[in-house]
């Protein structure tokens, strides 16, 4: 079996993984990146709108305190305050650093990095490259990682984390993986492992996420003994494509609204004015005149309601569709054609222009788009220490979308890319410092664990007459969409948990045909185990939280509840490893000087 030794192994080559690997390498660690798709293909590449950072290039009034406040309010105060603070304080430096490494951002007239408006951000704050910011970010980080000589194992999937408990304290010892092409196994010996595997969107039928988002890091962490936090909070982005069916769920960037696009129902009504919640009334325009005036004079007008945080807009769209005021394909109209010139639209939103032209034969400079909510992002993830990103397991770190806490109950647009950079750097440095602190006495991988990981990976080949993993995955996706989607009820969540139990039974006897060389059925069978754990975490936490807040809406508990606003829900794998245990945990206490921002 192939075997490699490193100080730090980073699982994932999105923005979080690449930034963590660069930091680890620069801190002196022998570092490897392992990723299950090709290098450069990670989800981050799809990010469109930009990186939120209070650089103050358009608004000198902007600073970390305002960004911190916006982030906490966007997350309905359930965020880990320390993570939100570090993020707001350090994001500008991380963006500047990207530019120093060669990223070419759009510019203001004065030659500074341009910053655009996004929902929930008081000031124009998203550093961007047209609507292809993620591509530029990955290009820059990838070039740097390759130039530094960091080793990359691509098309290589990690299925287990090894630990060593021989000195009575359980610590990370390495990871187990397989090459997707050959099916052969690899063992990594390493005292520090950083999970940077992204999100969980593929548990839902309608999603903006790609095939890789099967919650691997979430599940790996749980199986290693770490806990997850905030799993009930799943972000349904308000604007995904609804037509044609083959692209249903594909993202339509929030920049369309940031650049002037408005939402209309089938009666032609600009309906968002009917959905301004009390919490945001003071800062949201309540007339068309004021909303439109804001685009030219932001100082003297309040923001349009189309730029409320995503959870609010997604719920409003859902209500309009349910009330029978949807479009022919079951969406709502997003109109920028009647508001901006074709030249402006093509310059500011080139990807959107091509996406609609090529995939739906719609010219967005001449006609409105049809859009609807799509599962986009998971706020929940591995519970980590705010400063180091270390999980409850010594030597196991999590960063980026697979970590939890930073975004509370709802993430603001642009805050993910900032999160990857800020906490990627911190995790890489902390993982290296820990590996260094061990000196010559490192945790050892137990050969019995290697054999067990191998047997577990090969188990689907041993079954006869079982079910195909594709059928189970498809049923799970439909079930999560129908029962744990944008609006939830106790009855449906109970039904969902019963269905997940049944899927688990079906998955225990699923069968894959053929052999180990590039076998997508086998790959899915392994991913499906992760999707099932993650789905159970979401459904269980959603059932426990009897209120509506951010990305969790309960029809039977329609408003926020002050008591629930003081606690998080934390989930762990149960002692038998067969299901999920859940407990409540009080929010960390915010220092008084920060509380002052919310007076």
Can you list the alpha helix ranges (DSSP code H) found in 156-287? 216-224, 255-258
For the chain, the C-alpha Rg in angstroms (whole number) is 23
CB of 574 to ligand FAD, least distance (A): 22
Residue in the shown chain whose Cβ atom is closest to ligand FAD: 14
Interface ranges with ligand FAD (CB under 6 A): 11-17, 34-37, 42-44, 46-50, 133-134, 157-158, 196-198, 208-209, 212, 216, 251, 377, 400-401, 413-417, 420
φ, ψ for residue 414, nearest 5 deg: 85, -20
Q: Provide the pairing of β-strand 369-378 with 234-241.
A: antiparallel
Q: Provide the pairing of β-strand 2-5 with 185-189.
A: parallel
Q: Among the options 310, 315, 488, 554, which is catalytic?
A: 310
CB 477 within 8 A of CB 204: yes
Segment (H or E) for 455: helix 447-462
Q: How many of the other CB atoms lie within 10 Å of CB of 181? A: 12
Minimum CB distance to ligand FAD smaller for 158 or for 524: 158
Report the interhelical angle of 469-483 vs 490-508 (nearest 10°): 170
Tokens standing for 202?
């593929």
- Residue (of 175, 176, 177) closest to 191 by Cα position: 175
φ, ψ for residue 22, nearest 5 deg: -60, -45
One-character DSSP codes across 44-65: GGG--S-EE----SS-TT--HH
Tokens standing for 237?
């982005």
Q: Provide the pairing of β-strand 151-154 with 31-35.
A: parallel
How far is Cα 393 from Cα 431, in angstroms, rounded to an integer?
Answer: 12
Q: How many of the other CB atoms lie within 10 Å of CB of 336? A: 22
Q: Is 490 a catalytic residue?
A: no
φ, ψ for residue 57, nearest 5 deg: -70, -35
How far is Cα 85 from Cα 6, in angstroms, rounded to an integer?
Answer: 32
Which residue's structure tokens are 């992002």?
A: 377
How far is Cα 197 from Cα 82, in angstroms, rounded to an integer?
Answer: 23
- Residue (of 591, 546, 547, 541) closest to 570 by Cα position: 541
Can you list the alpha helix ranges (DSSP code H) found in 511-570? 520-544
Q: How many of the other CB atoms lie within 10 Å of CB of 19? A: 31
What does each C-alpha distance from 277 to 108, 166, 273, 274 come to in angstroms? 33, 55, 10, 9
**Residues labelled catalytic:** 310
């Amino acid at each position: 079996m192939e075997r490699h030794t490193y100080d730090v192994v980073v699982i994932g080559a999105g923005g979080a993984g690449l930034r963590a690997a660069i930091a680890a390498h620069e801190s002196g660690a022998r570092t490897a990146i392992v990723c299950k798709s090709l290098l450069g293909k990670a989800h981050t590449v799809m990010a469109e709108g930009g990186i939120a950072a209070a650089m103050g290039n358009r608004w000198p009034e902007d600073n970390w305190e305002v960004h911190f406040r916006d982030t906490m309010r966007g997350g309905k105060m359930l965020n880990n305050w320390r993570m939100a603070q570090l993020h707001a304080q350090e994001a500008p430096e991380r963006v500047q650093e990207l530019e120093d490494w060669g990223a070419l951002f759009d510019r203001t007239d004065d030659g500074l990095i341009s910053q655009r408006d996004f929902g929930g951000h008081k000031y124009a704050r998203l550093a961007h490259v047209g609507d292809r910011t993620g591509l530029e970010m990955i290009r820059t980080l990838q070039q740097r990682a390759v130039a530094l000589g960091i080793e990359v194992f691509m098309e290589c999937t990690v299925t287990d984390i090894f630990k060593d408990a021989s000195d009575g304290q359980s610590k990370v010892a390495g990871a187990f993986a397989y090459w997707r092409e050959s099916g052969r196994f690899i063992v990594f010996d390493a005292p520090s492992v950083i999970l940077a595997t992204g999100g969980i969107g593929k548990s839902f039928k309608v999603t903006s996420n790609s095939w890789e988002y099967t919650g691997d890091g979430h599940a790996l962490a749980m199986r290693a003994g770490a806990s997850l936090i905030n799993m009930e909070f799943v972000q349904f982005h308000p604007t995904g494509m609804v037509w044609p069916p083959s692209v249903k769920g594909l993202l339509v960037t929030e920049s369309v609204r940031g650049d002037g696009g408005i939402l209309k129902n089938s009666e032609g009504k600009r309906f968002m004015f009917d959905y301004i919640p009390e919490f945001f009334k003071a800062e949201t325009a309540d007339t068309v005149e004021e909303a439109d005036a804001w685009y030219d004079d932001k100082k003297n007008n309040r923001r349009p309601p189309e730029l409320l945080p995503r959870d609010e807009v997604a719920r409003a769209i859902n209500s309009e569709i349910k009330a029978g005021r949807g479009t022919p394909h079951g969406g709502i109209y997003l109109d920028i054609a009647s508001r901006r010139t074709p030249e402006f639209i093509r310059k500011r939103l080139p990807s959107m222009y091509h996406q609609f032209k090529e995939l739906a034969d719609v010219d967005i400079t001449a006609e409105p788009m049809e859009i609807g909510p799509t599962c986009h992002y998971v706020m929940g993830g591995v519970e980590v220490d705010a400063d180091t990103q270390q999980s409850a397991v010594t030597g196991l770190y999590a960063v980026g979308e697979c970590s939890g806490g930073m975004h509370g109950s709802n993430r603001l647009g642009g805050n993910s890319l900032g999160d990857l950079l800020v906490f990627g750097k911190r995790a890489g440095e902390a993982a290296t410092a820990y590996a260094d602190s061990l000196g010559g006495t490192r945790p050892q991988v137990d050969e019995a664990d290697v054999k067990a990981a191998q047997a577990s990976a090969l188990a689907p080949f041993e079954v006869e007459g079982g079910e195909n993993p594709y059928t189970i995955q498809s049923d799970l996706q439909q079930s999560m969409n129908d029962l744990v989607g944008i609006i939830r009820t106790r009855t449906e969540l109970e039904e969902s948990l019963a269905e997940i139990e049944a899927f688990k039974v079906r998955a225990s006897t699923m069968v894959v045909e053929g052999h180990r060389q590039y076998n997508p059925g086998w790959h899915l069978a392994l991913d499906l185990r992760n999707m099932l754990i993650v789905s159970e975490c979401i459904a269980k936490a959603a059932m426990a939280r009897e209120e509506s807040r951010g990305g969790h809406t309960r029809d039977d508990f329609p408003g926020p509840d002050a008591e629930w606003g003081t606690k998080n829900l934390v989930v762990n794998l149960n002692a038998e490893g067969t299901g999920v245990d859940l407990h409540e945990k009080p929010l960390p206490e915010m220092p008084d000087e920060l509380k002052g921002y919310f007076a």
